[in-house]
Amino acid sequence: MTVSDYGSVLAGMGFSAFFSQQLSLEERASCDAGRVLRVQRSGVTVASALGESVVPLDGHWWALPTEERPTVGDWVLLDAAHERVQRVLDRKSVLQRAAAGTRVDVQLIAANVDTALIVTSCNADFNPSRLERYLAWTLDAGVDAVLVLTKADLAADPDRYREAALAVRRGLCIELVNACDGATLDGLRGWCIAGQTVALVGSSGVGKSTLLNTLTGDAQQVTAAIREADAHGRHTTTDRSLHRLPGGAWLLDSPGIRALALAETDTSVEELFEDVATLASRCRFADCRHEAEPGCAIQSAVAAGRLDARRLANWRKLLREEAHLRETYAEQRRRARAFAKQIRHVAKAKSRWRE
């Protein structure tokens, strides 16, 4: 059975015209399309119209740049025997972050996600600055964002968390839920329709795995209690994986993200902080640093209570990160081009020597 034979089955898995138009006639006749459910060092677990299979990844995949390797949510083409990944199809969206450590690299979180469910709790875990970081991240990825406020049943005034979130981004979609009570999840189910892919992202201990278990009606993921002192939890999900929901949607569960370092961004910070950017355009001086310069519209807004000093500080922080990453990636690319040029020069010299 080839790609052409089971279009309706693949459509239910999220295989749209965006992916099918990437296939050649030869590939349609000889290959199978599959969705990556999980990535291991030795291979990938792939779901296709024929079921699930574990497909090994040979060494050449690990020699490629990180962003070119298969990740959870990717669509891949398999040979007829499902023994080899032929190629990864172009992604319509990708959630990624700057990898930890000194080496400049990215870590792929998931591909082809339609909606990110940013999960936080109605307790000490709620952090407006971290929420801004997640929103900038999803904006950059081109993924719709929904804020899921869990543990609403334990909060004395859960609506104050909703109001605080709307102060971060006006018009943000917000769901107040009790992750253990399926009756409170109807709003979330509206995002989990057949063929859609949603991702649960957030810190440890906020209830992501409990949400997954309640939505699927099955205890697929282990859960654990949080520390009462600071509302922090332990990692109970150890790897990223896609799960099919009863209604036909695909749900990504992932380990809690302790530190979300933005990868190379485009205009997401500017879009998220449009109010601050608008104020900056009204400053008297074009090179205003928004500190103590006369005629600074931003400092005037802070003094008048029209702009939160915390929001201003986080805007500056994210812009600094954005500038640093842009410079770092540019330098990395410059070195890579120089190295490639040197390799070509050596290859030409060897060729002339042989002649």
Encoded tokens for 175 = 């769901």
In angstroms, what CA-CA distances link 76 with 18, 65, 69, 84, 176? Answer: 13, 17, 10, 10, 36
Distances from the Cα of 238 to the Cαs of 58, 116, 255, 257, in angstroms?
A: 24, 19, 6, 11
Place of tokens 């020597």: 353
CA-closest candidate to residue 143, choices 173, 110, 116: 116
Closest-CA residue to 173 (of 135, 121, 210, 142) = 135
How high is the pLDDT of residue 235?
42
The confidence score (pLDDT) of residue 227 equals 44
Written as six digits, the tokens of 259 are 């530190």
Strand partners, 242: 252
Whether residue 202 contacts residue 127, with contact meaning beta carbons closer than 8 Å, is answered with no
The pLDDT value recorded for residue 234 is 46
Return the structure tokens found at 100.
Answer: 């930890």
Name which of 105, 12, 28, 8 is nearest 65 in CA terms. 105
CA distances from 302 to 101, 170, 306, 311 (A): 36, 19, 6, 10
| DSSP state letter for 154 | G
pLDDT of residue 8: 78
Identify the bridge partners of residue 262 per DSSP, sorted by sequence position.
97
Residue 220, pLDDT score: 52
| pLDDT tens digits, 125-157 | 899 999 999 999 999 899 999 999 999 999 999
Going by DSSP bridges, is the β-strand pair 32-39/43-48 parallel, antiparallel, or unpaired?
antiparallel
Domains annotated for the chain, with CATH where assigned, are 3-92 (2.40.50.140), 97-253 (3.40.50.300), 268-342 (1.10.40.50)
- 198 CB-near residues (< 8 Å, 6+ apart): 113, 114, 115, 116, 117, 191, 192, 249, 250, 251, 252
The stretches in the chain having pLDDT less than 50 are 102, 221-238
Residue 355: per-residue pLDDT? 57
Give the whole-angstrom CA distance, residue 144 versus residue 201.
13
Burial string for 236-260 (b: 16+ CB within 10 Å, else e) reads bbeebbbbbbeeebbbbbbbbbeeb
pLDDT at 202: 87
Helix (H, G, I), strand (E, B) or coil at 39: strand
Helix (H, G, I), strand (E, B) or coil at 323: helix
Q: Starting from the edge strand earliest in sequence, which strands make up the sheet with 43-48, in order?
A: 51-56, 43-48, 32-39, 75-78, 85-88
Task: Write the DSSP assignment of 244-312 as a string of letters.
Answer: E-TTS-EEEE----S---B-S-SSHHHHHTHHHHHHHTTSSSTT--SSS-TT-HHHHHHHTTSS-HHHH
Stated as kind and residue range, the H or E segment containing 176 is strand 173-176
